[in-house]
Amino acid sequence: MLRILQPFNSNTGKRVVKTPKVYLRDTGTLHALLNIQNFDAFLGHPVFGASWETMVIEQLLVNHEGDFGFYRTPAGAEIDLVLEKNGKKIAIECKATTAPSVGRGFYAALHELHIDQAFIISPVKDKYPIKEGV
């Protein structure tokens, strides 16, 4: 029922947040517990962003065969999910908006971890580049 997402083992020498993130894996159960009756009520609910992040992470991890975790430093560098397989690192940032953007902390984390590919997962109709490599 719960996913305990551990910090990504980065070996960067940077001080990282070590407290794991906890997700209620079934977003339907979460919405029922919060008595969210319909999609319109859900869109305005404070849990909307966290629910989106949970759904994205669960879908990505269901078939992933490698290391994974989140990355966050006290200085503000952050990535919601880092996937690693065969020496390649992929960064995933979850944004529950139709106009996603990321801050300096995301780009700092990409640099610190030497990320090979980066994606922002959001509910948009068409893909579009945010910045080279993202």
Tell me the pLDDT tens digit for each residue of 9-58.
Answer: 877 666 778 899 999 999 999 999 999 988 888 888 999 999 999 999 99
How many folded domains does the chain comprise?
A: 1
Q: Is residue 128 part of a domain?
A: no
Q: Is residue 11 part of a domain?
A: yes
Q: Is residue 19 part of a domain?
A: yes
Question: Who's near 47: CB < 8 A, 6+ residues apart?
Answer: 30, 34, 36
Q: Is residue 91 part of a domain?
A: yes
pTM equals: 0.89
pLDDT score, position 21: 93
Q: Is residue 129 part of a domain?
A: no
Q: Is residue 133 part of a domain?
A: no
User: Which structural domain, as residue segments, surrounds residue 13?
Assistant: 2-121
Instruction: Take residue 103 and report the two structure tokens written for it.
Output: 């801050």
